[in-house]
Structure formats: structure tokens, C-alpha cells
Chain A
Amino acid sequence: MAVDLSILLVLVQDGIVNGAIYGLLALALVIVFTVTRVILVPIGEFVAFGALTLAALETGTLPGTVWLLGILGVASAACRLWASRRHATMRSVAWQIGTSLLLPVVVAGLAWACIHWQAPQLVKVLVALAIVAPMGPYLYDVVYRPMADASVLVLLIVSVALHLALQGLGLVFFGSEGSRTQSLADTTLEIGPLFISGQSIVVVLVTLALIVALFLFFERTLMGRALRATAVNRLGAQLVAISPALCGHVAFTLAASIGALGGILISAMTTIYYDTGFLIALKGFVAAVIGGLVSYPLAAASAILIGLVESFASFHASAFKEVLVFMIIIPVLLWRSWRTPALLDEGEE
């Protein structure tokens, strides 16, 4: 079928908007992998949790994620206090209790207030983010930190297990049917044959802003440089007094926030289910792999490519869309293995 200009433009627009979401997730995956060597499979659950938590706040029900946050908070406090039992100071204990035990209580209070007084949309978005984002560092404390020195493969297996557990919890909290959230920007822009929804503009702008913010964070701040140092050489970074635990916290907080934000952004344009996140994350993962799991610009660019391939595939050969999208990874892997014949093994690092 012939593709006229208007259809082409719509497909490109659709591809870029979806690609932007994949790009966000690819960035989060790269951050977590470079800093902690964890392939964060459960990032998809943060996407679904973010979207469905916001949807629950909109319908005026207390989302189940609030309880999960509380439970994870308690577990994380226990792990942190135990890990630091030999060199605990009043200040460190207070900090740990504050961030792991008080924070979920405050957030739960906010969520309740948000439902009780019908807060504006932007406040609900922020509360939803506040509910999901701390889960990142809590999960790091409980699951990954005690085994931070395990091999990449073991960490990956743990990630898959965590993904399955969180997905099951998602089904319990939100049920099997999907939800949508209100649009953040209701206006529609009309440019020639194109109707550009306000939401898709928000998605692209937020993605761009985040990329710039991350760039500044990694280039200009001490914390960002510490993360980069850990990514380059963990032992070296530790020797110059960069705490791997702190880096892990920051990386996981970033990843959970970005994941939840991605979910919130996309949930106004599509229906999100408790298990939607995995497929979105998988496409983000493909983009991250194309970037070699280290390169941010390459990951972001390939995410846009994936979005475009997906959009055009859904027009021309919708039955084979997923196949075409995931096939992109094969030539890339071939090329990579050809470029670097000696695989970097764990032990040789």
C-alpha cells in the first residue's frame, strides 16, 4: 500500500514518542548496569507501578504500592542497620531510620491526603513518583547489596526472580485489567495533516530535559563523577573513598524514578496493565544493548530507531511487528562480537 506524506508523518511521530519512552528506560538500564553491574529486569515493573499508582490515585483508591513501599522500607532499614552495626553512629542510624522508615509513612500520608482532597493532576503525578521511586534503593538494600560482588550472571538471575515477584504483586495490587490516566496536556497541535497531542509533546520534552539533566549530573556534579568513577573502576573508586553503597542507592533511585516517570508519561496515551512494563523494558533493553550497555547517546539514538521500526512495522506488517523489532538486535550483536573477538569474561576484568 502506498504511503502518502500524511501517513508517513503520523508514523514518524508515533515512533518518536514511543522511542522516547524506550530511550528513557535504556538510559536507566545503562546507569544501573555501569554502576552496579545489575541488569535491571524489574525496571518494567517500575513503569507499570508508576502508571497504575497514578491511575489508582485518580480513581480515589489507595494504591497497593503504598503498602509495598512500607514493607520494603522496613526490610531495607533492617538490612542497613544490620550491615552497619559495627560502625553505627547516632547520625547514621537517624539517617537510615529517616530514609527507610519515616519516608514511607510520609509518602503514605501524602497519598491519603491526595485522595482525600482531590489534589490537582500534577500533585498526583509527584505523589505517584514519590511512592514508586524509593522502591529502587530499598530493593537495592534488600536484594542486591548483600550480594554486590556476585557475578553478572547471578545478578541477572536475581533480577529475573525479582521481576517475576514484583509482577505477581502488581497483579495482586491492580488486578488483571488495565488502566489509563488523564493527559498531562489536553491541547492538540495541528500542523498540516498532523494532529500532535499535547501529551506526546510532553513525552518528548521530558525525555530531552532528562537527558540534558543526566548529562549535567554526570559531568558537573561530584556525585555524578563518583558514579562515573565507580562505573569505570569499582575498586579504584572505593580506594578513593567513594561508597559503592551510596552509588548503588543513587543509581537505583534514578532508575526507579525514570521508570515510574516513563510509565506515567505513556499511560495517558495507552492502556497499561500490570505486565505491560516488561515488554516496554525489553525494548529499552534492546536499545541499551545496541549501545553496548555503556553508551548513553548510542542507547538513546537506538531507542528512537526501535520506536520508528516498530511504528512502520505495525503499519506494513502488523503480524510480524515484534519479530521485526527484536530482530534488530541480531546484526548488532554479530557486529559487536566481530569487533571484539575476545569476550571480556568476568574473571578477566
Chain B
Amino acid sequence: MRKLAAGLMLALGLTTAAQAADPVRVGVVISETGPGASLGIPEGRSIRLLPREIEGRPIEWIVLDDGSDTTRAVTNMRKLISDNRVDAIIGSTVTPASIAMVEVAAEQRIPMISLAGSAAIVTPVDERRRWVFKTAQNDALMAGAVVEHMAAAGVKSLGVIAVSDSYGDGWLGIMAPLLEARGIRVVATERYARTDTSATGQTLKVLSARPDAVFIISAGTPAALPAKALRERGYRGPMYQTHGVANADFLRVGGRDVEGTVLPVAPVTVADQLPENHPSRTIARQYRDAYEAAHGANSVSAFGSYAYDAGLLLQRALPVALRTAQPGTPEFRTALRDALEGLRDVTYVNGVANMSATDHVGQDERARVMAIIKDGTWQALPR
């Protein structure tokens, strides 16, 4: 009997020792190839900047590429949950894949932090979405800033050229009520594909409606094509873009033709120009310096910061969850979800996050800065 007890004690001791060394595993599903690659690559690089330990507990980041494909994103997520036994999921890069992953998160009861833009991923916070959080600015937050700027600049009629994918659809849906509220009329809405070789037809159609300003909805270098076509056809009026274009490649390809373009950007894009009292000033510059030290000057973009911020949220929530449960258990995943929802005043690269039971992004206007392209650089506009 004593022997048995001793054996039991030993076995128990061994399990607790093993548990103490148990790492927290975080599965990352991002689009490092395919159409979302220009977003997914900096995200992957930023994950590699995150610490591998929190309060003595090792963190394992397991990154899988979904090729911007919805089915592969879901497969990868299931694989991470069943094979790698991860405690949380970060991803995916693009909206369609993220929305599909919401179902898996709810079914497997695992917290997930999406890096995509659309508010539909996290709102409304219902039975499924209570597991889902997000670090990228809601498109509506950015769109609000754009529409405000248009109204202040006296724009009465607007021509829109949007990329024909979910990014374009999402923005068009959000802009419509905002524009109507400000009395701005949309006189032409044209669509073009990311890999189109010409946007002449769309440009002519928009210009023949004689709008006060033109708004181009697209991400990355593809957004330069309609801008260049507009200038080629002699358009000299104001141009707006979305925050999706805020990387150095867009400036390189757009060149002279995108000078004067107004757009909302994430704080990190204009890290050095943030006012002294901006909460993200320090951390945005730290992140930028770390990223650019590894990948070269001017390589930083907002997309990587979303992945970095997702990591920061987890770093704040993990110690809380670790107090109540052990990694690798369903209880831990629930505790982690509750801890994420309970996060208040987390200063990260994209402003300050205040999560609540009804808001799983938690950002305010400190997460956006209006900027203008001047002399081939991003210049923050005074508020």
C-alpha cells in the first residue's frame, strides 16, 4: 500500500513537473502566398519578432500558410487544433478566410484573433463570434475618417473605383450610409480586377460623371493602376485611397501620379510624426525599428503590426488565463477567451484597445491617422 502511494505520488509529481514546462501553443494561419501575400508576408515576419516566453512559460508560434484560400485556411486551423493542440489561433490575413474560420473557432471553442479588416468578422458579438477578436481597424473606423475629410473639403459628388473582390465590396457597403449621412452623392461606381492591365474604361466612365473627388478602393500596388489612369486622362482633382495601400511599394509604383492623395493610415505608417501625447508613439517606433532592422529601411507596413498587436493582446491575456487553468485544456481556452474579452487599456501599435462583451476590436479614433502623400512619403495631416 505504501509502495502504491509512493508510486502514485511520484506519478503525480511527474505530471505536475511536465505541466509546468508545458508551452502555450499559438497557431498562426496567414496568407504568405496568393493575392493576400503582400499582407501575409509582413505578418509572418512580425510573428517572428514576438517573444517566445511569457512569465517563464514558453510560447510556441506555429505558422501555416493558407495561400489566401478559404478552404486551406479552415483546413490549417483544424490541423493546428487537432494535431498541434494549440490554445489560440491568430489569423487569417484576409476577410473571407477569417469569416470561414469563425465557424471553426465557435465549434472547437478556441479563441481566435483575426488580422483582416472587415467588421463582419467580429460584429455582432453573438454565440459564434464571442470566440473571435480582431486587431486591424474596422473598415468603418477608417471610412468614417475619410468621409469626414471629404465633407470638410467640400466634396459634394464622388466617383468610386473599387477593386472587384471582397475588399471592394466591404468598403462600398460601409461607405454608402456614411456618404449619404454627409450628403455626398456617388455619381459613378466602377469596378476593376487586381490583375487588370488597363483601367481606361472605368476611368473614362468616372470622369464623364464629373465628380468633385475620386475615391479608389484597393489594397497595395494594384491601387496605383486607376490612379495613374486618372492622371493620364488629365484628372487633376482630389484623390482618396484606403489604408490598404499604405506600404512603400505603392509609393514606388504610383510615383508622381499619387502625389496629394489623401488616405487614413494606421499609426505605425507615420510613427515619427505622431504627436508626443499619442499613446502608441513609443511602441509604434519600437516595432518599426525592430522590423526595419531585420528587413531594411521603409519596409514596415500596417499589416505586420496587426499580427504584432495580436501577439501583444495574447501576451497580456495569457498570464491571466494561466492563473486558472493549464495550457492544452478546454478550460484554458475558455479562460483565455475570457481574459481577452476582459482586456482594458492595452496600448499597442494601433492605438489603445478596450475590449468588452459587445466590442471585440476595442479601438477608438486613436487607431487611425489621416495622411497625405507628399514628396513620395506619408505625411500625417493635423487633426
Q: Which B residues are CB-close (under 8 A) to A321? A: 191-193, 201
Of all chain A residues, which has the CB nearest B164? A319
Are A270 and B164 CB-contacts (below 8 A) given A7-B204, A10-B204?
Answer: no
User: Does A311 sit at the interface, judged by CB under 8 A?
Assistant: yes
Binds B, one of A85-93, A124-132, A172-180, A237-245: A172-180
Are B197 and A314 interface neighbours, CB within 8 A? no
Q: How far is the CB of A334 from chain B (nearest CB, A)?
A: 26
Are B164 and A10 interface neighbours, CB within 8 A? no
Residue count of chain A within 8 Å CB distance of chain B:
39
Proximity bits, A154-179, B CB within 8 Å = 1, else 0: 00000000000000100100011111
Are A18 and B197 interface neighbours, CB within 8 A? yes
Interface residues on B, range: 20 to 34
User: Does B41 sit at the interface, judged by CB under 8 A?
Assistant: yes
In the complex the two chains form, what is the Cα distance from A197 to B233 in whole Å?
Answer: 11
User: Does B225 sit at the interface, judged by CB under 8 A?
Assistant: yes
In the complex the two chains form, what is the Cα distance from A316 to B191 in whole Å?
Answer: 11
Q: How far is the CB of B160 from chain A (nearest CB, A)?
A: 11
Residue among A269, A271, A279, A310 with the most chain B CB within 10 A? A271
Q: Which B residues are CB-close (under 8 A) to A175? A: 37-38, 41, 249
Of all chain A residues, which has the CB nearest B68? A176
Residue among A18, A176, A314 with the most chain B CB within 10 A? A176
In the complex the two chains form, what is the Cα distance from A254 to B208 in whole Å?
Answer: 43
Of all chain A residues, which has the CB nearest B41? A176
In the complex the two chains form, what is the Cα distance from A256 to B37 in whole Å?
Answer: 26
In the complex the two chains form, what is the Cα distance from A275 to B34 in whole Å?
Answer: 8
Of all chain A residues, which has the CB nearest B223? A271
In the complex the two chains form, what is the Cα distance from A310 to B41 in whole Å?
Answer: 33
Are A314 and B33 interface neighbours, CB within 8 A? no
Proximity bits, B232-264, A CB within 8 Å = 1, else 0: 110000000000000101101100000000000
User: Does B190 sit at the interface, judged by CB under 8 A?
Assistant: yes
Which of B37, B38, B198, B233 interacts with A270 by CB under 8 Å? Answer: B198
Q: Which A residues are CB-close (under 8 A) to B222? A: 178, 271, 273
Q: How far is the CB of B264 from chain A (nearest CB, A)?
A: 20
Proximity bits, A262-295, B CB within 8 Å = 1, else 0: 0000100111010110111000000000000000
Chain A at the B interface: SS class:
helix
User: Does A328 sit at the interface, judged by CB under 8 A?
Assistant: no
Residues facing A in B192-228 (CB within 8 A) are 192-202, 204-205, 208, 220-222, 224-225
Of all chain A residues, which has the CB nearest B225? A271
User: Does A312 sit at the interface, judged by CB under 8 A?
Assistant: yes
In the complex the two chains form, what is the Cα distance from A154 to B117 in whole Å?
Answer: 42
Which of A271, A275, A276 interacts with B253 by CB under 8 Å? Answer: A271
Which of B202, B249, B253 interacts with A318 by CB under 8 Å? Answer: B202
Q: Which A residues are CB-close (under 8 A) to B192? A: 314, 318, 321
In the complex the two chains form, what is the Cα distance from A78 to B253 in whole Å?
Answer: 40
Of all chain B residues, which has the CB nearest A307? B198
Are A177 and B196 CB-contacts (below 8 A) given A1-B208, A14-B201, A318-B205?
Answer: no
Proximity bits, A317-349, B CB within 8 Å = 1, else 0: 011011000000000000000000000000000
Of all chain B residues, which has the CB nearest A272? B197
In the complex the two chains form, what is the Cα distance from A311 to B201 in whole Å?
Answer: 6
Proximity bits, B163-203, A CB within 8 Å = 1, else 0: 01000000000000000000000000011111111111110
Are A269 and B197 CB-contacts (below 8 A) given A176-B38, A318-B191, A319-B164?
Answer: yes
Q: How far is the CB of B125 from chain A (nearest CB, A)?
A: 32
Q: Which B residues are CB-close (under 8 A) to A10? A: 200, 204, 233
User: Does A69 sit at the interface, judged by CB under 8 A?
Assistant: no
Which of A1, A18, A168, A275 interacts with B198 by CB under 8 Å? Answer: A18
Which of A7, A17, A171, A278 interacts with B208 by CB under 8 Å? Answer: A7
Are A314 and B199 interface neighbours, CB within 8 A? yes
Q: Which B residues are CB-close (under 8 A) to A313? A: 201
Q: How far is the CB of A333 from chain B (nearest CB, A)?
A: 23
In the complex the two chains form, what is the Cα distance from A142 to B255 in whole Å?
Answer: 41
User: Does A77 sit at the interface, judged by CB under 8 A?
Assistant: no
Contacts A10-B204, A270-B225, A311-B200 known; 5 new A-B pairs at CB < 8 A: A171-B37, A176-B41, A177-B220, A311-B201, A314-B198
A–B Cβ pairs within 8 angstroms, 6 of them: A11-B204, A273-B194, A275-B195, A276-B195, A316-B201, A316-B205
Q: Which 3 A-B pairs have the closest CB atoms?
A: A314-B201, A176-B37, A315-B201
**A residues bordering B, Cβ < 8 Å?**
1, 7, 10-11, 14, 17-18, 21, 168, 171, 175-180, 195, 197, 266, 269-271, 273, 275-276, 278-280, 310-316, 318-319, 321-322
**B residues bordering A, Cβ < 8 Å?**
33, 35, 37-38, 41, 164, 190-202, 204-205, 208, 220-222, 224-225, 232-233, 247, 249-250, 252-253
